[in-house]
């Protein structure tokens, strides 16, 4: 009776204390931790209050038992006339709880009496914190960067650090390191695998195991007992923070206790504890109690610095040098810090030299956590899986091949609905079935992607090892903070292809969309202005080739890609009249899909209407041809179009002077021709704001006379001196028929764009005279004939190899 009196009183007083703390607005879990380390604690307080905090009243000892036992105590004290004020009040509390219908619940449910009377909640649900406020309230970081000291200690040690991770996302913070691949397993399979790995690595001296799924005990069983296990899930890039022993996940400006996020609800690897000390107890099934876990606080880290932490942990590296052995179960941030790696800026396609790759990128999403689902939604893509497994695999692989070949970034994703089994093992088995389907789809894709992005830890591991057959890869760095970027090794199906390992728990809702956008193949590799400015810097010229049909377009693109040369697809008003919008669309599409810089130019725009329409059609540059007008009218006309074109970011070329000759049924007689005047050129450039000047120095449209061209190179030299000061580029029409030596001199005197038409047209017409059996053969022959002339010009202009 005396024992039950004390037990009942302690439970009731514990409930009262926690209700009072809740009314004061205190964090009841922190209050509980504080009281358990104070003199006010008792065994019953430590045993029953966690039930109250978890709102878990599964009966270990029913509330009605204390109604009965304290009733007996009350009766005996009445018979013996002993006033027991405290136990009598406790009895009334338990009696009230029983009357409320809680009698068969756990005796800790007596706290509900206080909750009902006062409206407070004792349940220790950790609050969501304001991220910026909390981080600013913490002590400032230790002022000395320890990376240098860490690197020095690493050099002093001849030992090799071995990092075990069951999915590729552990490479989130390192770079320039080789990675050997494996895959995610159930707890039993992971245990067996780690034992095998550790036996193979027995000569290695240390292990760091990332904390996602597998068991540290397996490593210990092979490598032997460790002096300490270090738990460090902090991961800055992934928004994972540990404050006051509570592990938080950042979401925008909030810090959410980890156990209250979708990551904790994983059917196979979930958890209930946000407090890391309690998490250890949970994961070890009580073998290691929370009270047996020592924590290193932020205050100790930031105020005390390495020496103070050394006293607490005996300094990880220094202790290792003295023979101490540690097993570190960590997130990726610890790995880079332990190795002494200096962070590297995110890597983009241009850093890897893949901007010229033609095919699209392959994005595979297997991660089903809520953050990934939101990210996929923001990326505005949706696909369904309604066919039978085999049909769906074949269909998805076939469609992916089609889109990749069409230079489209292609997304393959699993259903956003999470299907779980009755047990963690069943859930993992379902996961494996879905993952194996993804693997088979990717395995059947024959097109080499420009890059591959895998979303989710298990997904990225399975794809790397099973679908892509990667035995090793190089960790180049990160594509985004916390998002590893690999280059696949020599044994893989796609040697050197960038492989982006995007964890399911990293980034905000727009992170996936932004990353895919940054890795997308550029819509157009260059503008005409960029092409000509590069030519100015490199001392060469770019050919602008007039096109009239698909064969002409293909001839220019094929020659440019083969010679690795920039080029300009040029459409004359006469060609536009015949080919219309489809011809323009064909040129723009070809330029977009080419692996070298190609732009589209509208030539000899002699009317405002034609030029305005050309600007709306998407040309990269236009030529404003007012050469048939007086100087004053030419200035006014060119200035009007230039203003409109520049508002759209379009380069403007204009002609001063007038060329003789015939082009596309437009003829200028010799007596109408005029050379460019240098003084007028200065005024013309200043007034119109043009970007490029087409000069008349004796050049002609069409064929030159039998005596050959007679170009005024002295005039060209003076015009180049002027244009260089004004930042204007020089263009020479009528390049067909100019000898090699004259072309070279023109380039030396500043010509950066040559217009070529007559020779390419002649090659086309000559090819038609050859007898061919079929129209397709005639078209192919015409294309090859034009391509040969174009390639020759690219070498002559010096643009070959400059793409």
CATH number for the domain spanning 778: value is: 3.20.20.70
Considering the domain architecture, whether residues 8 and 87 belong to the same structural domain is answered as yes
Residue 33, in any domain of the structure: yes
Residue 212, pLDDT > 70, answer: no
The residue annotated as part of the active site, out of 462, 603, 620, 691, is 603
Q: Which of 750, 747, 784, 754 is nearest to 767 (CA)?
A: 784
Question: pLDDT per residue over 490-546, tens digit each?
Answer: 888 999 899 999 987 788 888 899 898 888 866 555 799 999 999 999 999 999 999
The pairing of beta strand 228-232 with beta strand 326-330: parallel
Question: Any idea which of 23-27, 66-70, 315-319 has the lowest mean pLDDT?
Answer: 315-319
Domain that holds residue 78: 2-118
Q: Are residues 289 and 333 in the same domain?
A: yes
Could you tell me which of 77, 80, 99 has the C-alpha nearest to residue 88?
Answer: 77
**Do residues 198 and 292 share a domain?**
yes
Q: Are 559 and 627 in contact (CB under 8 A)?
A: no
Angle at 348 between CA 345 and CA 350, to 5 degrees: 125
Sheet of 240-243, strand order: 129-130, 254-257, 246-251, 240-243
Residues 6+ positions from 357 with CB-CB distance below 8 Å? 450, 521, 595
Burial of 553 (0-12, 13-18, 19+ CB in 10 A): buried
Tokens of 124: 């220790």
Is residue 802 one of the residues assigned to a domain?
no
- Indicate whether 31 and 89 sit together in one domain: yes
Edge-first strand order for the sheet with 326-330 is 161-164, 206-210, 326-330, 228-232
* Mean per-residue pLDDT, 195-215: 51
Q: Among residues 318, 339, 360, which one ends one of the domains?
A: 339
| CB atoms near residue 168 (< 10 Å) | 32
Residue 189 shares a structural domain with residue 330: yes
Question: CA 738 to CA 743: how far, in whole Å?
Answer: 6
Rounded Cα distance, 53 and 359, in Å: 56
How far is residue 194's CA from residue 721's CA, in Å, rounded to a whole number?
72
In a shared domain, residues 540 and 683: yes
For residues 657 and 768, membership in a common domain is answered with: yes
pLDDT of residue 24 exceeding 70, the answer is yes
Report how many domains make up the chain: 4
Residue 603: active-site member: yes
pLDDT score recorded for residue 560: 96
Rounding to the nearest 10 degrees, give the CA dihedral for residues 598, 604, 610, 612: 60
Last residue of a domain, one of 519, 541, 575: 519
Instruction: Examine residue 344 and state whether it is found in any structural domain, yes or no.
Output: no
- Give the C-alpha separation, 372 to 456, whole Å: 8
- pLDDT band of 230, cuts 50, 70, 90: confident
Residue with the larger pLDDT of the pair 393 and 193: 393
Of 731, 746, 573, nearest to 654 by C-alpha is: 731
Please give the pLDDT value at position 443.
Answer: 92
Structural tokens at position 386: 């309604």
Residues 330 and 386 both lie in one domain: no
pLDDT, average across residues 771-776 = 74
What is the predicted pLDDT for the residue at 376?
Answer: 65
Per-residue pLDDT reduced to its tens digit, 234-276? 988 788 999 988 999 998 889 999 988 887 877 667 888 888 8
The answer to whether residue 123 is domain-embedded is: no
Q: Is the same domain home to 436 and 476?
A: yes
Give CA separation, 272 vs 125, 127, 248, 266, 611, in Å. 11, 15, 13, 11, 68
CB-based burial of residue 557 (10 Å sphere; 0-12 exposed, 13-18 middle, 19+ buried)?
Answer: buried
CATH number, domain of 482, equals 3.40.980.20
Q: Let me know whether 161 and 270 are in one domain.
A: yes
Mean pLDDT (whole number) for 142-153: 85
- Provide the strand spans (E) within 597-727: 598-605, 621-624, 651-656, 660-663, 666-668, 692-695, 700-701
| Distance from C-alpha of 146 to C-alpha of 364, rounded to nearest angstrom | 38
User: Do 515 and 533 have their domain in common?
Assistant: no
Residues 659 and 771 in one domain: yes
- Of 482, 502, 519, the one marking the end of a domain is 519
Is the residue at 548 inside a domain? yes
DSSP letters along 206-266, please?
EEEEESSS--HHHHHHHH---SEEEEE--BGGGTEEEETTEEEEEETTEEEEGGGSGGGG-
CA atoms within 13 A on the CB side of 460: 28
Higher pLDDT among residues 163 and 185, named by residue: 163
Whether residue 550 is predicted with pLDDT greater than 90 in this model: the reply is yes
Q: Does position 442 have pLDDT exceeding 90, yes or no?
A: yes
Distance, CA of 698 to CA of 708 (rounded, Å): 11
Terminal alpha carbon distance of the chain: 94
173 domain-assigned: no
CATH number (domain holding residue 93)? 1.10.1040.10
Residue 417: count other Cβ atoms within 10 Å of its Cβ. 8
pLDDT-derived band at 384, boundaries 50, 70, 90: very low
293: in domain: yes
How many CB atoms are closer than 10 A to CB 529?
Answer: 18
CA–chain centroid gap for 31, Å, is 42
Q: Quick check: is 668 in a domain?
A: yes
């Amino acid at each position: 009776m005396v024992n039950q009196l004390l037990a009942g009183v302690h439970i009731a007083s514990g409930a009262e204390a926690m209700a009072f703390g809740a009314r004061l607005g205190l964090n009841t879990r922190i209050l509980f931790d504080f009281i358990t380390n104070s003199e006010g604690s008792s065994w019953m307080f430590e045993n029953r209050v966690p039930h109250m905090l978890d709102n878990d009243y599964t009966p270990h000892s029913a509330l009605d038992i204390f109604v009965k036992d304290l009733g007996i105590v009350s009766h005996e004290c009445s018979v013996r006339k002993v006033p027991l004020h405290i136990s009598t009040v406790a009895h009334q509390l338990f009696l009230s709880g029983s009357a409320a219908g809680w009698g068969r619940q756990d005796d800790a449910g007596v706290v509900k009496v206080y909750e009902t009377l006062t409206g407070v909640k004792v349940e220790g649900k950790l609050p969501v914190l304001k991220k910026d406020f909390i981080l600013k309230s913490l002590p400032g970081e230790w002022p000395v960067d320890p990376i240098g000291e860490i690197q020095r200690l690493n050099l002093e040690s001849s030992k090799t650090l071995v990092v075990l991770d069951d999915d590729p996302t552990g490479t989130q913070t390192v770079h320039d390191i080789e990675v050997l691949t494996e895959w995610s397993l159930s707890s039993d399979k992971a245990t067996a695998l780690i034992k095998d790995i550790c036996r193979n690595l027995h000569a290695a001296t240390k292990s760091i195991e990332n904390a996602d799924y597998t068991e540290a005990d397996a490593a210990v069983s092979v490598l032997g007992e460790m002096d300490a296990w270090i738990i460090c899930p902090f991961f800055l890039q992934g928004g994972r923070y540990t404050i006051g022993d509570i592990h938080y996940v950042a979401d925008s400006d909030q810090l959410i206790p980890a156990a209250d996020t979708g990551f904790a609800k994983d059917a196979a690897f979930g958890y209930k504890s946000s407090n890391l000390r309690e998490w250890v107890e949970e994961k070890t099934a009580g073998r290691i109690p929370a009270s047996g876990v020592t924590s290193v606080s932020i205050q100790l880290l930031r105020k005390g610095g390495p020496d103070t932490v050394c006293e607490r942990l005996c300094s990880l590296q220094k202790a290792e040098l003295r023979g101490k052995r540690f097993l570190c179960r960590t997130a990726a941030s610890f790995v880079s810090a332990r190795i002494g790696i200096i962070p590297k800026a995110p890597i983009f396609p241009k850093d890897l030299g893949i901007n010229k790759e033609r095919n699209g990128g392959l994005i595979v999403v297997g991660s089903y956590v809520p953050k990934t689902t939101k990210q996929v939604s923001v990326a505005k893509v949706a696909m369904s899986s309604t066919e039978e497994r085999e049909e769906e695999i074949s269909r998805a692989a076939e469609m992916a091949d089609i889109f990749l070949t069409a230079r489209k970034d292609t997304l393959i994703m699993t259903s956003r609905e999470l299907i779980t089994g009755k047990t963690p093992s069943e859930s993992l088995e379902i996961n494996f079935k879905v993952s194996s389907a993804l693997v088979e789809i990717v395995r059947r894709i024959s097109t080499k992607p420009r890059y591959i992005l895998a979303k989710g830890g298990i997904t990225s591991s399975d794809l790397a090892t099973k679908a892509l057959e990667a035995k090793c890869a190089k960790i180049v760095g990160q594509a985004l903070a916390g998002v590893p970027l690999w280059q696949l090794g020599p044994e893989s199906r796609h040697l050197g292809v960038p492989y982006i390992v995007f964890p399911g728990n990293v980034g905000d809702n727009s992170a996936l969309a932004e990353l895919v956008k940054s890795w997308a193949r550029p819509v157009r590799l260059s503008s005409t202005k960029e092409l000509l400015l590069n030519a100015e810097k490199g001392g060469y010229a770019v050919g602008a080739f007039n096109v009239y049909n698909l064969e002409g377009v293909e001839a220019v693109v094929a020659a440019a890609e083969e010679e690795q040369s920039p080029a300009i697809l040029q459409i004359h008003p006469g060609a536009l009249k015949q080919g219309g919008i489809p011809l323009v669309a064909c040129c723009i599409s070809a330029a977009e899909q080419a692996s070298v810089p190609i732009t589209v130019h509208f030539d000899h725009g002699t009317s405002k209407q034609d030029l305005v329409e050309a600007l709306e059609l998407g040309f990269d540059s236009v030529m404003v041809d007012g050469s048939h007008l007086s100087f004053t009218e030419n200035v006014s006309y060119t200035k009007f179009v230039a203003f409109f074109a520049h508002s759209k970011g379009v380069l403007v070329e204009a002609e001063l002077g007038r060329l003789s000759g015939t082009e596309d049924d437009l003829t200028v007689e010799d007596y109408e021709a005029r050379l460019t005047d240098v003084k007028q050129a200065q005024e013309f450039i200043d007034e119109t704001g043009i970007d490029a000047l087409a000069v008349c120095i004796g050049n002609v449209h069409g064929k030159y006379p039998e005596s050959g061209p007679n170009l005024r190179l002295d005039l060209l030299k003076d015009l180049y001196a002027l244009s260089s000061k004004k930042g204007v580029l020089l263009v020479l029409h009528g390049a067909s028929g100019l000898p090699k030596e004259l072309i070279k001199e023109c380039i030396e005197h500043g010509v950066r764009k040559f217009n070529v038409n007559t020779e390419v047209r002649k090659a086309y017409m000559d090819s038609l005279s050859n007898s061919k059996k079929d129209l397709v053969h005639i078209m192919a022959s015409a294309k090859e004939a034009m391509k040969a002339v174009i390639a020759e010009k690219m070498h002559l202009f010096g643009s070959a190899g400059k793409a």
